[in-house]
Amino acid sequence: MAASLFANSFAVCFLVCFTLGASPPDNPVAPPRYQINLDLPEEQRWTELMKNYAQIGPDAYNVIYSYVHSLPPPLPNITIKVIEMVAADVDQYLPSPYAAEMRGIAKSLNIDLGLIVGMNILYDVTAFCTSIVMQDSKGVIWHARNLDYSYTDMLRNITVQVDFIQNNKTVYSGVTYAGYVGLLTGMRPKAFTITIDERDQGAWWENFLIGIIDRKAEPIGFLIRDVLANETTFESAVKRLSFTTTEASAYFIVGGVGKDEGVVITKGRIAPVDTWQLDTANGRWYEVETNYDHWGPVPKTDDRRDPANKKMVAMGQNVTVDNLFDVMSTVPVLNDDTTYTIIMSASQPDITKVWIRNCHTCPKT
C-alpha cells in the first residue's frame, strides 16, 4: 500500500515535472541575502548575520551528534576527538580568515567553538548534488546546481545568500549555511562560478580527518572560498582547484565568461583524475555532473544524470533562468534532500537566483 502510494505520487510528479514549463512540485522561496564586510576584522564579519540565527546552537549540536553517530565505529570517537582537538587550537589547525571568523561566530552566539568547528568540518564533505554547466546559443556560460543534504529541514532554515564586500564592492558571492564560513557554491562576478559535488571514495572520511590533523590539506569549502577571493580568471581558478591538495576527492564544476569555459574537474586528493571541458564545436554545449564519474555508469538506485540530460536536450541552447529552473525542478534532480537551487552566470552576475527547495513529495536520493 505504502509502496504503491509512493510509486503513484512519484509517477505523477515525474509526468508533471517532465513537461517543460510545469510549476515545480514544491513552494520555492528566496533565502535571505546578507553582506559580509571584508573590511571588518575577521572576528566581527558574521556578527550582524548571526543575530538572526541565535537559535542554531541546539540544531547544530543535533546535526553533528546524529551525523557523527551514523558513522561506523571507530569513526564516531575519532571524529569527536578531532573536532575537540581542532577547536582547542583552531588557529593552529585552520587557516586565516576561517579560524578567526569561526571564533567570532561562536562568541556572538555564546556557544562552544567545538560546535562551530564541527559544523564547518562536517558540512564540507557530506553533500550530494547535481551541477550543470553550459553555453547558450549566444555563447554565454551558465551554471546551475541543486544542493542535496540530509538534515534538510534544519539546513533550509539557515540557508543564506551572501555577498562578500570590500570597499563597498562585491568581490565574490555565494550561498551557504549560517555558521558555515566556507562556500560550496560561489561566484566571482565577471570571472567564474564554482560548485562542488561530493565524490565518494571509500575511506575518504578517515583520510579527511587525518588531513585536518596534518594540516596538509584545506577543507574543500575553504579552498573554494579562497579561490573566489584570490583568483581572478577562469583559468587560474581551474588550475588552483585542480592542483591544491584536498584530503577528500571531489567534483569541481567551474563556469567562466568565455567560449567553452565550462569544466567538470574530477579531483583526486592531489591532482585531477580527469578534466572534462565544454567543446561546443563538437556538440558538447553542456555537462551534467551528479556524484559519479562522468565516464562511468550511474547506479540504478540514484540516477539523476539521465533525467537531467533529457531535460537539457529538450531545452536546447535556449537558456533562460526559467528554462533552467525547470530543468533543476525535474524529479529526481529535485528530490526530498534538495535544500536549494541556484542559477548563476559569471558574465551576468545580476541574473543570479536562489531558491530554497522543499519537495516532500519527491523521492529520496
Q: Of 96, 110, 282, 301, which lies in the binding site for ligand NAG, with binding defined by CB under 6 A?
A: 96
DSSP 29: B
- Residue 229 touching ligand NAG (CB under 6 A): yes
The closest of 8, 24, 27 to 16, measured between CA atoms, is: 24
| Nearest distance, CB of residue 72 and ligand NAG, angstroms | 10
- Residue 301 touching ligand NAG (CB under 6 A): no
With respect to ligand NAG, which residue has the nearer C-beta, 240 or 294? 240
| Nearest distance, CB of residue 19 and ligand NAG, angstroms | 12
**Cα distances (Å, whole numbers) of residue 55 to 117, 159, 235, 241, 279:** 17, 14, 41, 34, 47
Q: Of 130, 323, 330, 365, which lies in the binding site for ligand NAG, with binding defined by CB under 6 A?
A: 323
| Nearest distance, CB of residue 297 and ligand NAG, angstroms | 31
Contact 31, 354 (CB under 8 A): yes
Q: From 2-10, 212-220, 223-231, 267-275, give the range in contact with ligand NAG by CB under 6 A.
A: 223-231
Peptide bond into 332 cis (omega under 30): yes
Q: From 141-149, 151-159, 290-298, 351-359, give the range in contact with ligand NAG by CB under 6 A.
A: 151-159
Helix (H) or strand (E) holding 159: strand 159-166
The closest of 309, 301, 351 to 330, measured between CA atoms, is: 309
Q: Of 110, 168, 282, 301, which lies in the binding site for ligand NAG, with binding defined by CB under 6 A?
A: 168
For residue 273, the SS3 value is strand
With respect to ligand NAG, which residue has the nearer C-beta, 226 or 261? 226
The closest of 279, 224, 280, 232 to 252, measured between CA atoms, is: 224
13 is catalytic: no
- Residue 97 touching ligand NAG (CB under 6 A): yes
Residue 25 CA to residue 361 CA, distance in Å, equals: 8
Return residues touching ligand NAG (CB under 6 A).
59, 73-74, 77, 96-97, 153-154, 157, 168, 225-226, 229-230, 318, 320, 323
> Which residues are catalytic, by number?
129
